[in-house]
Amino acid sequence: MDYRLFFCQTTKIKIDSNDFIYWLISTFFTNIPPYAILNTSVELAKHKKLNHAAKYINGLLRNVQRSIKFIQEKQHHSTILPCELGAWQFSSPLFPSPDTKFSQYLSIVYSYPEYLVETWQQEFGENMCEQLLQNGNCIAPVYLRDRNSSLPDILHNLNIKYIKYNNLFQLDTASDIQKLPKFEQGKWAVTGIASTKVIEALELTPNISVLDVCAAPGGKTLQIIDKIQGQGKVIAMDISKNRLESLQFLKQTYPPETFDIKIHDGTKSIPEWNQTFDRVLVDAPCSNSGVFSKRTEARWRFSPQNLTSLGNIQSALLHAMAPTVKIGGILLYSTCSIEKKENDKQIQTFLQNNSNFQFEEKQIQLPLAPSFDGGSYCKLRRISE
pLDDT for 174 equals: 61
For the chain, first and last CA: distance in Å? 51
pLDDT at 176: 67
Among 299, 304, 333, 295, smallest CA distance to 316 is for 333
Torsional sign, CA 166, 213, 275, 272: negative
Q: Note whether 311 and 340 are within 8 A (CB).
A: no
Structure confidence at residue 197 (pLDDT): 95
What does DSSP assign to residue 256?
T
User: For residue 357, what are the β-bridge partners?
Assistant: 382
Q: What is the pLDDT of residue 173?
A: 63
Torsion sign over Cα 205, 209, 215, 221: positive
SS3 call for 342: helix
Residue 357, classed as helix, strand or coil, is strand
Domains of the chain by range and CATH? Answer: 4-113 (no CATH), 193-382 (3.40.50.150)
| Per-residue pLDDT at 160 | 85
Does residue 129 carry a catalytic annotation? no
Q: Model pTM?
A: 0.85
Q: Which of 129, 214, 286, 336 is catalytic?
A: 336
Residue 172 confidence (pLDDT): 67
Q: What single letter denotes the amino acid at residue 268?
A: K
Taking the C-alpha atoms of residue 254 and residue 283, their distance in angstroms, rounded to an integer, is 23
Of 50, 138, 7, 13, the C-alpha closest to 41 is 50
Name 381's Cβ contacts closer than 8 Å, sequence gap at least 6.
Answer: 328, 329, 330, 331, 357, 358, 360
φ, ψ for residue 339, nearest 5 deg:
-90, 135
Rg of the chain's alpha carbons, rounded to an integer?
Answer: 23
Mean pLDDT by 10 residues, the chain (385 residues): 38 39 46 77 85 85 83 89 83 91 94 96 96 90 86 86 86 70 78 93 96 95 92 96 89 91 97 97 98 93 97 98 98 98 97 97 94 95 96
Cα–Cα distance, 113 to 7 (Å, whole number): 15
Q: Please state whether beta strands 277-283 and 325-335 pair in parallel, antiparallel, or not at all (unpaired).
A: parallel
Which contiguous run of DSSP H or E holds residue 212?
strand 208-213
Q: Which amino acid is at 337?
A: S
- What distance in Å separates the CA atoms of residue 220 and residue 240, rounded to the nearest whole number? 16
Q: What are phi and psi of 5, to 5 degrees?
A: -65, -45
